[in-house]
Amino acid sequence: MSLFNVFDISGTALSAQSVRLNAISSNLANAEVVSSSEEEAYRARYPVFSSAMDSAMGGRGAVGVRIDGMVESQLAPRKEFSPTHPLADQEGYIYMSNVNSVEEMANMISASRSYQSSVEAMNTTKQLIMRTLNMGR
Amino acid sequence: MNMIDRLFGVSPQVLSVRSQRTELIAANLANADTPGYKARDVDFGDALAMARGERRGLQHAHGSHIAIGGESQAVRYRIPSQPSMDGNTVETDREHSEFMENAIRYQASLNFLDGRIKSTLLALRGE
């Protein structure tokens, strides 16, 4: 019965969205991290989603999500002049992470909405399956 | 067509097409954030006609050709009303409403089947 494939498909979405939430919380946690050179500064990281063309999922066109990898944001880290900071470099600059907190919060809302809609799909499918099992009783 | 098939009418095929549609819409919802993903849906009339064997889709011309499932040939790409920059054509609100509608229609067919089974059992028992 192909209704069971819904659990596989929505399951991949749940795990992908939770990886995304993890990355976002890591970005937010490191938003204020300071380092003494541009290379060492924390850079925001994001997962890259792609659809999993998997024959295991029925092979009939319905596909789940897969995470291809993580990418780091290419924005330049914030550079601040703070000569008294213990991590300041020779010229008195410190390098903050390039995380944009507002962007991360919006991203988090989007991830949690997507998570919810997959959970809802699974719940509805579960009800359909239970009703089908009870048919004729 | 034997007696049981006639008894149940079109409902079993409807359930099969509806469950395929549930799967596709769940995949659309799962890929709501995947760049380049194109939302798909089932052409219900086509899928039902194929499931009932009234219409035949593409057939193999040779034994070593790749098999195409009959019902999967009724799958169409959805035309987006607001396509996004990353090439994704999933509109979550629309998918939600389609998913709900599909689930309700699935349950309607289930109810028809249920009623048929119950009345047949009643007739058999003769109570």
- Contact across the interface for B30 and A64, Cβ inside 8 Å: yes
First to last CA, chain B: 29
Bridge partners of A67, per DSSP, are A49
What number of other Cβ atoms are within 10 A of residue B101's Cβ?
12
**In whole angstroms, what is the distance from residue B114 CA to residue B111 CA?**
5
User: Which of A10, A50, A136 comes nearest B26 by C-beta?
Assistant: A10
Contacts of A124 in chain B (CB under 8 A): 99-100, 103
Predicted-complex ipTM score: 0.84
Give the amino acid at A10.
Answer: S
CB A5 within 8 A of CB A57: yes
- Contact across the interface for A121 and B25, Cβ inside 8 Å: yes
pLDDT tens digits, one per residue of A41-53: 999 999 999 988 7
pLDDT tens digits, one per residue of A76-106: 998 999 999 998 989 999 999 999 999 999 9
CB A35 within 8 A of CB A43: no
- Contact across the interface for A121 and B26, Cβ inside 8 Å: yes
Best probe of the B interface among A10, A21, A63, by most B CBs < 10 A, is A63
